[in-house]
Chain A
Amino acid sequence: MLRFIYLYRNLTRNSLRTLMTCAAVALPIIVYVLSTAVIDGLSQFLDNSAKQLRLVTMHKTSFINPLPVGYRAKIESLDPTKKRITSVCGMRWIGGKIEDFPMPLSTLAVDMDTFSATFPDENLSEDEIAAWNRDRRALVVGPATARQLGWKVGDRVTINPSVLPYNPIEFNVISTAPLAKDVVTNFFRMDYLEEELKKVTGPEGWTLDGWVSFFFVKCATHADMDYYRVAIDEVFARSPDETKTQDEKSFMTEFITQFFDLPTNLTILAAVTIFVAVMAAANTMSMNIRDRLNEIATLKSLGFGPSTVFVLIQFESLTLCTIGGFIGAALPYISFNHTPLRNFTVPLIQTLDVRMIVCLESLVIAAAIGVLAAAWPAWTGIRLKVVSALRNLE
């Protein structure tokens, strides 16, 4: 108990310094939490991709080359029992822009019949699936996109596609997919897109409909995935449109790393912030101990052993940094979960989900910073020669 009082007194006797140290630790921790939240968001997304046992088949040469819709039947015929390939869903990208909204949307037309089976991670309810089947203009909006644009179920909305047919398309929002893992992408029915495409004239010798950007192939097991990843490409080898099939995780990773290689760069940033926090905390602790050398000498001369001195110094640093870490973790957690900042969109990745686990992790890291920062001062405290310390100082 006495030691706690001693510790408390030490922390409060120079409250300005304590406060500033907390802040100097808390601020880098904020940056750390934010950057790890982005990395965490991306890796969660990729983990889900890996769990879903889906293959993505695209054109061999580039994603700008479309594949014929007829390929779906050929892929399905590889497994007529539907036990190993459970469903195949074609997808066509139309991008999308909203008037007076700066960010481009990610909107995809998908095969209406196999969408919900291929993407159970969209977590559509039975009513929503019924609405999807019933309404030709059905649109499933990504939850983050819905929040940004203020779209609700039942709204009638218009999206301007970035590619053919270019003309605005009207949709009825049937779901904002609150439990979806992909929080930004919107899905609508391929048959509706094909209908819209019939209204415009395309280039000569080109049919506008009948093409898709990718096929998502849902498999039953990992072994099936490994088998069909090769088997699908073999079917289309030496055909007019050869394919490249990969698992969904590698497909998505390829895209994500191309955007500024966000995971790598943010990891570097996070490491740097930790370094900054250690510097700041170590600085204060070394000053604290320097100021108090005579006190430590007194403690020792009273008979307290080096272990007590060590624990006292370490504990002081630990407390300081944990408080700083708590502030640094709580601030972004509260502001990105419970304030209007919730709707804040990060450029490049669009959503920032600060999860509790990330905050707890940074709290642990803050505590580790405390221990690390006090290492040298504590060592000085242990080694301190009582006589010379008392002689040198007033």
Chain B
Amino acid sequence: MALPLYYNWRNLLRRRLSATLTFFLVGVVVFVLTALLSFAAGIRASLSATGSARNVIILKPGSTAESTSILLPAEAARIVQAPNIARGSTGQLLISPELCVQTNIPRRGPVGTPASVAIRGVDDITYELHSELKIMEGRHARQGMMEIIVGKAARERYANLELGGRLEMGRLANRVFTVVGVFEAGGGAMESEIWAPRTMLEDAFNRRFLSSVVVRLEDLARAQTTIDYLNGPAVELDAQLETRYYEELSTKTREIVFLTTVLIGIMAIGAIFAVANTMYAAVDGRKREIAMLRTIGFARSSIMLSFVIESLLISTSACAAGLGASLFLNGSRKDFLSDTTWTVLAYELRITPGILLSAFGLATLVGVSGALAPALKASRMRVIEALRKA
């Protein structure tokens, strides 16, 4: 027979101060956990939504990212020979030469610290390879014009990128590009970028080379053949699946998750001790009551369970409160400078179901393991002695 929840609730009310303190403590730990994990989840969501498994990205061997890669036109020309490249609507091979540069744009807000935003120079064919890109407002940038389209995330985060806005770019910062469109790319990293006609960018930045070439595969099953050919002696470049390239960029998030685990682990153990402390006090203060319960027929197990439930009552309600507070973070935009690409990635903090689950898991763990020892003590109490002492 179990003790009613009402009993636990009344008990908590009797120790109001102690219960409140424990509540806040667990709540704060849960809040920190969700906040830290939401950073990682936001970045990962953005990067994993980027790139297609049907695309192969080709860089200069030795370079670590598009922004540090320099492909000479002669080197890029060799890519045409590769087998298994798909053809587009007009019959030409789907090979997209791209040029990545950066320019400093102030962030929105009162301080307006500059951020190094990625600018991608593209040809018309690029849109066939990056088909996830959709124009939300305005239109595509036309070749040969000083026009740019900006990603949704970039527009929200950086100043003056509204439709019709003007951006000075280039080596001399004297080429004025006009924003003619805003695009979305399935929440991917490209939404933090600005796209421009490649030839115009080459001219403005005085760069007669490419950063990367993206090709679309005809037959997915033979992807490795294409990659091996491109890496081999005939082309001698560094090719990999686009999805893998972005996956590798998100390794930084693994470091955040690792750090979070360590920090939260330490704090959670502290929280367990605090909960255990509270529960021991609850047991000690109720010796007579427990003995009475035993006398009137409640089993050891139901007394033990009752204490665990009491502790869970605090920790899970604290968890709910902590999560509630952290939901305010959900969707807020942040950005960070990657030390691989040297460009900023704007991302949204995301509270995913996985994070909710791990928060509740943590709260349950803290609640149960904090209550276990005191509950055991309560259930093992010698009834006669406890009653006699009273």
Task: List the interface of chain A (C-beta within 8 A of B).
Answer: 16-17, 20-21, 23-28, 30-31, 34-35, 59-65, 95, 97, 102, 104, 160-164, 166-167, 201-206, 240-242, 254-255, 257-260, 269, 272-273, 275-277, 279-280, 282-284, 286-287, 290-291, 346-348, 376, 394
B273 is contacted by which of A24, A161, A242 (Cβ under 8 Å)? Answer: A24
Q: B14-65: which have CB < 8 Å to A? A: 17-18, 21-22, 24-25, 28-29, 31-32, 39, 60-65
Residues from chain B with a CB closer than 8 A to the CB of A97 are 64
Interface contact B276-A20, CB-CB below 8 Å: yes
Decide yes or no: A167 and B269 within 8 Å by CB, A61-B104, A242-B172 being known contacts. no
- Interface contact B339-A280, CB-CB below 8 Å: no
Q: Which one of B102, B263, B284 lies within 8 Å of A62 (CB-CB)?
A: B102
| Residue contact A348 to B255, C-beta cutoff 8 Å | yes
Nearest B residue to A160 via CB reads B62
Instruction: Report whether A31 and B267 are in contact in the complex, using a CB–CB cutoff of 8 Å.
Output: yes
* Any A CB within 8 A of the CB of B240: no
User: Are B277 and A17 neighbours in the complex by a CB distance under 8 Å?
Assistant: yes
Q: Is the CB of B209 within 8 A of A24?
A: no
Asked whether, in the complex, the Cβ of B63 is within 8 Å of the Cβ of A20, the reply is no
Complex: chain B residue closest to A59, CB-CB = B171
Total number of A-B contacts with CB less than 8 angstroms? 180
Bound CA span A242–B174, Å: 11
A276-B22 in contact given A27-B267, A64-B102 (Cβ < 8 Å)? no
Interchain CA distance A25-B281 in the complex, whole Å = 18
A104-B72 in contact (CB<8A): no
**CB pairs A–B below 8 angstroms (24 shown):** A24-B277, A25-B270, A27-B267, A27-B270, A28-B266, A30-B266, A31-B263, A61-B103, A61-B170, A64-B67, A97-B64, A104-B340, A162-B62, A206-B209, A241-B171, A254-B113, A258-B344, A273-B267, A276-B29, A280-B25, A280-B271, A286-B21, A290-B285, A347-B259
Q: How far is the CA of A91 from the CA of B115 in the complex (A)?
A: 22
Residue numbers in A under 8 Å from B65 (CB-CB): 162
Q: Which residue of A lies closest to B288 (CB)?
A: A394
Residue interface bits B344-357, CB-to-A below 8 A is 1, else 0: 10000000000000
Indicate whether B336 reaches chain A with its CB closer than 8 angstroms: yes
Mark B residues whose CB is within 8 Å of A. Answer: 17-18, 21-22, 24-25, 28-29, 31-32, 39, 60-65, 67-68, 70, 72-73, 101-104, 113-116, 169-173, 205-209, 251-252, 255-256, 258-259, 263, 266-267, 269-271, 273-274, 276-278, 280-281, 284-285, 336-337, 339-340, 342, 344, 390
Most B Cβ at <10 Å: residue of A62, A167, A205, A206: A62
Given B206, B277, B281, B336, which contacts A260 in the complex, CB threshold below 8 Å? B336
Give 9 A-B pairs besides A283-B18, A291-B281 with Cβ atoms closer than 8 angstroms.
A24-B277, A28-B267, A62-B116, A162-B62, A166-B63, A206-B209, A259-B337, A276-B25, A287-B18
Given contacts A276-B29, A283-B21, is CB(A65)–CB(B171) below 8 Å? yes
For the complex, give the distance between the alpha carbons of A62 and B119 in Å.
Answer: 12
Shortest Cβ distance from A316 into chain B, in angstroms? Answer: 15
Min CB distance, B308 to chain A, in Å? Answer: 18
Cβ-defined contact, A347 with B255, below 8 A: yes
Question: Closest 7 interchain pairs by CB?
Answer: A347-B255, A27-B270, A166-B62, A258-B337, A203-B209, A279-B25, A24-B273
Docked-complex contact A286 and B172, CB < 8 angstroms: no
Residue from A162, A257, A279 within 8 A of B63 (CB atoms): A162
B336 touching A259 by the CB < 8 A rule?
yes
Q: How many angstroms from the CA of A367 to the CA of B362 in the assembled complex?
A: 29
- Pair A260/B39 contact, Cβ less than 8 Å: yes
Please measure, in the bound complex, the distance between the C-alpha atom of A255 and the C-alpha atom of B337, giving whole angstroms. 8
Known contacts A258-B337, A291-B285; A163 and B270 CB within 8 A of each other: no
CB distance from A227 to the nearest CB of B (A): 24
In the assembled complex, the Cα of A23 lies from the Cα of B270 at a distance in Å of 6
A10 to B181, CA, bound (A): 72
The answer on a CB contact under 8 Å between B28 and A280 is no
B282: nearest chain-A partner, CB-CB: A287
Given contacts A21-B277, A23-B269, contact A60 B115 (CB under 8 A): no
* Set of chain B residues within 8 Å of A166, measured between Cβ atoms: 60-63
Provide the bound-state CA to CA distance between A25 and B269, in Å.
11
| A95-B269 in contact given A203-B72, A259-B339 (Cβ < 8 Å) | no
Tell me if B25 and A61 are in contact (CB < 8 A).
Answer: no
Residue from B24, B113, B173, B251 in contact with A61 in the complex, judged by beta carbons closer than 8 Å: B173
Contacts of B31 in A (CB 8 A): 272
A200 smallest CB distance to B (angstroms):
10
Within the complex, the shortest CB–CB distance from B192 to chain A, in Å, comes to 13
A168 to chain B, nearest CB (A): 8
Nearest chain A residue, comparing its CB with the CB of B370 = A20
| A162:B266 contact, CB within 8 angstroms | no
Contact pick for A203, options B103, B208, B256, B270, CB 8 Å: B208
Contacts of A347 in B (CB 8 A): 252, 255-256, 258-259
| B22, B70, B103, B344 — most chain A CB neighbours (10 Å) | B70
Kindly report which residue of chain A lies nearest to residue B101, judged by CB atoms.
A64
Residues of B within 8 A of A287 (CB): 18, 277-278, 281
Within the complex, the shortest CB–CB distance from A246 to chain B, in Å, comes to 11
Known: A27-B267, A61-B104. Contact between A283 and B62, CB under 8 A? no
Enumerate chain A residues within 8 angstroms of B256, measured Cβ to Cβ: 347
For B60, the chain A residues whose CB sits under 8 A away are 166
Q: Which residue of A lies closest to B251 (CB)?
A: A102
Q: In the complex, what's the smallest C-beta–C-beta distance from A391 to chain B, in angstroms?
A: 17
In Å, the complex CA distance between A63 and B340 comes to 14
- Chain A residue with minimal CB distance to B344? A258
In the complex where A61-B104, A62-B104, A166-B63 touch, is A204 in contact with B208 (Cβ < 8 A)? yes
A10, B209: Cα distance in complex, Å: 77
B231 to chain A minimum Cβ distance, whole angstroms, is 15
Enumerate chain A residues within 8 angstroms of B62, measured Cβ to Cβ: 160-162, 166-167
Q: Which residues in B have their C-beta under 8 angstroms from that of A30? A: 266
- Least CB distance from B204 to A in Å reads 10
When distances are taken between beta carbons in the complex, the residues of chain A under 8 Å from B25 are 276, 279-280, 283
